[in-house]
Amino acid sequence: MAFDERAFFTEKPETRPARYQCPRCRRPADYSIRWVRRVKRDRPPAGGDETDRARFAKLRDYLLRVDDEVVCPACGKKFEIPSQHSLLFTDQLEGLPDADELEREIAAASGQPAPAPEAKPALPPRFTRKSTGWK
């Protein structure tokens, strides 16, 4: 990302346990992997423009992996941590809110009205009466 993340996030290093299998000896081992936790600031950067504020509204806290490689304790092979595990959104760790809720939060944070739930036109009574012959 091209923008300055430090204006949007505070950073805190942390260590998380992980288990990886060595590609050479196939033995799994537990590793302590260093990450940086980026926590969204309370407000967008001062002096930011509309784009900054919109961008800020969509940001989520996340963890960025610092370590790229580990060394197998069994055979000494240095190998790369699978790269698809290099970024984790914090809400993936702590239970995702449902998508609709997330949309509303984003809308609220950006000052836009939330999309209204689809309004159902009121039906005349003949349609709402309990039906008996419908399959």
Residue 70 interacting with Zn ion (CB under 5 A):
no
Nearest distance in Å: CB 67, Zn ion? 17
Q: How far is the CB of 20 from Zn ion (least distance, A)?
A: 10
Q: Classify residue 129 by its DSSP letter.
A: S
Q: Is residue 74 within the footprint of Zn ion (CB under 5 A)?
A: yes
Contact by Cβ (8 Å): 67, 33:
yes
By CB under 5 A, residue 96 contacts Zn ion: no
- Whether 73 contacts 17, CB under 8 Å: no
Residue 28 or 115 having the CB closest to Zn ion: 28
- Helix and strand counts by DSSP (H, E) for the chain: 4, 6
Between 75 and 114, CB nearer to Zn ion: 75
What is d(CA 95, CA 112) in angstroms, rounded to the nearest whole number?
25
Would you say 15 or 21 has its CB closer to Zn ion? 21
Q: Which residues of 9-39 are buried (b: 16+ CB within 10 A; e: fewer)?
A: beeeeeeeebebebeeeeeebebebebebbe
Per-residue x/- mask for Zn ion, residues 6 to 45, rule CB under 5 A?
A: ----------------x-xx--------------------
In this structure, what are the phi and psi dihedrals at residue 32, rounded to the nearest 5 degrees?
A: -100, 115
Q: How many residues bind Zn ion (CB under 5 A)?
A: 7
In the complex, the smallest distance separating the C-beta of residue 44 from Zn ion, rounded to whole angstroms, is: 46
Contacting positions for Zn ion (CB under 5 A): 22, 24-25, 72, 74-75, 77
